[in-house]
Amino acid sequence: MPLECNSKVADLLSEMAKINQDALREVYKAKQYAAAASALRSLNFEVQSIDQVDVIPMLKKRDGKIRKYVQEILTTGKLTALQSLRQRPDVKSCVELSGIHGVGPVTARKLFDKGYKSLADLRAPGVPRDTLTPTQWIGLKYYEEFKQRIPREEVSHIATAVREAANTFMKDEVRCYCVGSFRRGKADSGDVDVLVECRDVSLANDLLMHILNDLRAGSPSPRSGILTDDLQVGDVQYMGVAALQQPLRADDQAPPVHRRIDIKVYETDAFPTALLYFTGSDKFNRSMRLWAKRKGYALQDKGLFRDRSEAAASRVRVRDEKDIFDALQLDYVAPKDRNV
């Protein structure tokens, strides 16, 4: 459980990070705020006074701005700088617009400068189609639904449908995992991210296309209609929109909620490292890559390579995640313990 005071301070710093990233385009400042928030959340004690944050290296500097902000929050429970930013029309607009899938900070600012200051402005009749890309129009259409967290049970149902579709194509049952926060045991997720193994690399694209066709409307399979919109279709990776249809949904009264879904197909040799990479967390992955580098390896989603090379000949053969930890002389860490 997060410590209440630390969580409050971290939440306000995270909001500063988001505003600096999405509205002000101050990328460096955004990273600093986000790093401070992450460090505060990781503490195993509750911060009651400013001197206690000295254990966080980036907050030790006595005249540092973020340290002063932390002190203000501890003292008053508020952050004046954040309150001021919240009142700026451009900040409110850019934060909202950058929340559209496919719209980044630069595009959000361009839209604001063109007079589009809200979702309502973009949804008004007569807005030219070239105002947004096809992907961004889909993001606008499902804006409110994409913002909703996805219950664990629903993520599991969608991932199971992908697995069942994959197994109707391959002769032998394939490994198929829902990764990200779901695999780390979280109660809900922001999207559905599914990793599928393909033992014959020459069939990877065929496998992905079979899965997509099985899940699209018009398919004779019982999973027909789960995929409602395509965002990006690649050779072995897919980004799209999924919505559980009847009879797969537990609640037959509420309309289906549209969710973001990614499906990635990896060859067997790269599957364990891809599974490690996409399970996360980001901080855990960074620590693993840094450790691998110190040991003379390069660790990425496509494999664990000797001598920091990406040549196929230098790839370390691993069968599962535990083999990766063994190769790096580390104790195995279960997915549920990677939430750092």
- pLDDT tens readout for residues 231-284: 999 999 999 999 998 655 555 667 899 999 999 999 999 999 999 999 999 989
Residues of the chain with CATH 1.10.150.110: 1-87
Residue from 56, 54, 47 nearest 74 by CA: 47
Q: Extract the tokens encoding 213.
A: 């066709």
pLDDT in tens, 21-32: 999 999 999 999
CATH superfamily of 89-141: 5' to 3' exonuclease, C-terminal subdomain (1.10.150.20)
State which amino acid sits at residue 196: V
| pTM exceeds 0.75 for this model | yes
Q: Can you give the pLDDT of all 340 residues of the chain as single tens digits?
A: 346 889 999 999 999 999 999 999 999 999 999 999 999 998 989 999 999 999 999 999 989 999 999 999 999 999 999 999 999 999 999 999 999 999 999 999 999 999 999 999 999 999 999 999 999 999 999 999 999 999 999 999 999 999 999 999 987 788 999 999 999 999 999 999 999 999 999 999 999 999 999 999 999 999 999 999 999 999 999 999 999 986 555 556 678 999 999 999 999 999 999 999 999 999 899 999 999 999 999 999 999 999 766 666 689 999 999 999 999 999 999 999 999 7
Reduce the DSSP state of residue 46 to 3 states and report it.
Answer: coil
Cα distance between residue 334 and residue 338, in whole Å? 7
Q: What is the dihedral of CA 71, 73, 76, 77, to 10 degrees?
A: -160
Cα distance between residue 181 and residue 161, in whole Å? 19
For tokens 């797969």, the residue is 248
Cα distance between residue 104 and residue 132, in whole Å? 12
Q: Pick 1-87's CATH classification: 3.40.50.720, 3.40.50.150, 1.10.150.110, 1.10.10.10.
A: 1.10.150.110
Per the document, the length of the chain is 340
Residues of the chain with CATH 1.10.150.20: 89-141
Residues of the chain with CATH 3.30.460.10: 150-271
What one-character DSSP code corresponds to residue 316?
A: P
- Rounded to 5°, the CA angle 35-30-192 comes to 75
Class of domain 150-271: alpha beta
State which amino acid sits at residue 338: R
CATH superfamily of 281-337: DNA polymerase, thumb domain (3.30.210.10)
Residue from 230, 329, 317 nearest 273 by CA: 317
Within 8 A by CB and 6+ apart from 261, the residues are 158, 191, 192, 193, 194, 227, 238, 239, 240, 241, 242
